[in-house]
Amino acid sequence: MAAASAVGTTSFGLVDSTKAFRGGISNAGFGHIKTAIDGFRPALEVVNPDDPFQTMKANWLNGVPKDDQKAIAKSLVRLGITPTTAANLATAVPGVDGTLFGAAAVKVNAGQELTEQEINMLGRFDAILDARMDAGFERADQLYRNASKLLAAVISVALSIAGVIVIQKGIPAASDLFLAFLVGLLATPLAPIAKDISSALSTTVAALKSAKG
């Protein structure tokens, strides 16, 4: 268990180190976010014409809390709602009346008071935007976690097999290779468990020492 947990911890560390190379494994999943809000590109281009998704990708690579990422993305879209982009945005969002949405955009940019219908229309737009972002971010997070685990598993198996070859100073028997392969597979899910057990034991020991004075 100790050997497997060590291999697993090392593999997760190596996976994490790939982030130093243009984001590495952190890039996994961002495509789902980009696809989910691609319909709002006209609004994002108002904020950053050269790279509309730059801010969102930077937040994703840096591991900004998901709720904060959604709030930032939503604020960027809202900033890009102008009389010029309103028509394209209304087309990308089913159920939003283009004429009414355009009128609301004109009033917002002019600082004029909105009618109840226009407020409801903007609320509908926000609700659809939130739903799309929720779906995109959840799928992105799932893909990122699965990709990280898969890469960690591949590294764990490679480390286990390499360890057997080094210890036995040559090509080991098929049974030993199979055992190393199993240890590598088990190391990936075992690493977090072993870490939790180790933390729990450390906490227990510290508590016992305090009780004894």
DSSP string, 31-97: HHHHHHTGGGHHHHHHH-SS-TTHHHHHHHHTT--HHHHHHHHHHHHHHT--TTTHHHHHHHSTT--
Task: Give the residue among 148, 146, 183 at the shortest CA–CA distance from 163.
Answer: 183
**How far does CA 152 lie from the centroid of its chain?**
17
Q: Among 95-99, 179-183, 195-199, 203-207, name the one with the lowest average pLDDT.
A: 195-199
Residue 197: per-residue pLDDT: 42
CB 81 within 8 A of CB 40: no
CB 153 within 8 A of CB 185: yes
Structure tokens at 169: 């100073």
DSSP string, 78-118: HHT--TTTHHHHHHHSTT--HHHHHHHHHHHHHTPPPPHHH
> What does pTM read for this prediction?
0.74
Residue positions counted in the chain: 213
pLDDT digits (tens, 9 = 90+) for 102-142: 899 899 888 889 889 988 888 889 999 999 999 999 999 99
Residue 133: per-residue pLDDT: 92
Judging by beta carbons within 10 Å of its beta carbon (0-12, 13-18, 19+), is residue 174 exposed, middle or buried? exposed
Domain extent listing, the chain: 2-208
Residue 209: per-residue pLDDT: 64
Query: CA 82, CA 42: separation in Å to the nearest integer?
Result: 10
